[in-house]
């Protein structure tokens, strides 16, 4: 009876970890960042049509296109989602995602979307490029890189707009901890890979978005 209870508890824990990983996928981070900006910042005063256009562009190029192209890649090669966990099989999905983000930047630039919004996509793009390079030798957690990028973005935008980020930081650091624990429970990453991914995302986001360090990236983009 006790052993059966342990088995049920383990299955529940694993299913919970799977749900958490599915909700906080790396693909969803930029889109969620824009939704938060449009709801909880002064950007909520922007016209609804403009916000919907921006959200549509971000959704198409950061969620829809990467998901669709990676799905086609898996079907062509007969891979399951678990097969892409292996480090050597992650490069093509990475490249497909990076390509989608480049097109997203080009589209946003064509629409004259301000830097403080296009910078979010650029930060995610820089983060992914670094993850690809690091993955040549060591596997990083892209889920945690996305979580680190959100935390870094909060700090950067607080410096840019002069608001107190402590409440939001506490929330997203807690979410990052839960997400990292889920990735370890699922045995997709070690503690080092989780911490490494978070650090990469945090640093990339601060470098690209923080007003004290983003001048180089702004010149590069424009």
pLDDT tens digits, 139-188: 888 889 989 998 998 888 888 777 788 888 899 999 999 999 999 998 88
What DSSP character marks residue 109? Answer: H
Residue reference for tokens 């921006």: 54
CB-based contacts of 144, cutoff 8 Å, min separation 6:
176, 179, 180, 183, 189, 193, 194, 195, 196, 197, 198, 201
The model's confidence at residue 8, banded by pLDDT at 50, 70 and 90, is very low
Positive or negative, the Cα torsion across 170, 97, 43, 206? Answer: positive
Report the pLDDT value the prediction gives residue 141, as an integer from 0 to 100: 87
Q: Is the pLDDT of residue 82 over 80?
A: no
In the chain, pLDDT over 70 holds for what percent of residues? 86
Q: Is the pLDDT of residue 91 over 80?
A: no
* Total-model pTM: 0.83
Q: Is the pLDDT of residue 215 over 60?
A: yes
The model's confidence at residue 89, banded by pLDDT at 50, 70 and 90, is low
Report the pLDDT value the prediction gives residue 5, as an integer from 0 to 100: 45
Report the pLDDT value the prediction gives residue 180, as an integer from 0 to 100: 92
- The mean predicted confidence, pLDDT, of the chain is 83
What DSSP character marks residue 62? Answer: I
pLDDT tens digits, 14-54: 888 888 888 888 878 888 889 888 887 788 888 999 999 99
The model's confidence at residue 85, banded by pLDDT at 50, 70 and 90, is low
Q: Is the pLDDT of residue 221 over 90?
A: no
Residue reference for tokens 């399951």: 80
């Amino acid at each position: 009876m006790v052993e059966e209870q342990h088995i049920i508890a383990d299955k529940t824990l694993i299913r919970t970890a799977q749900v958490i990983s599915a909700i906080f996928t790396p693909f969803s981070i930029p889109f969620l960042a824009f939704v938060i900006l449009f709801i909880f910042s002064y950007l909520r005063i922007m016209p609804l049509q403009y916000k919907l256009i921006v959200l549509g562009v971000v959704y198409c190029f950061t969620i829809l296109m990467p998901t669709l192209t990676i799905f086609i890649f898996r079907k062509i090669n007969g891979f399951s989602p678990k097969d892409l966990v292996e480090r050597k099989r992650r490069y093509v999905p990475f490249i497909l995602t990076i390509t989608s983000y480049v097109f997203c930047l080009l589209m946003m630039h064509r629409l004259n979307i301000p830097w403080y919004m296009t910078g979010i996509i650029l930060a995610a793009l820089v983060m992914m490029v670094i993850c690809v390079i690091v993955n040549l030798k060591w596997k990083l957690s892209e889920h945690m890189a996305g979580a680190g990028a959100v935390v870094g973005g909060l700090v950067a935008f607080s410096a840019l707009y002069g608001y107190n980020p402590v409440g939001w930081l506490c929330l997203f650091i807690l979410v990052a901890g839960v997400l990292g624990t889920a990735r370890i429970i699922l045995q997709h990453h070690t503690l080092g890979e989780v911490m490494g991914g978070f650090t990469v995302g945090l640093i990339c986001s601060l470098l690209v978005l923080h007003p004290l360090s983003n001048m180089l990236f702004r010149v590069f983009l424009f």
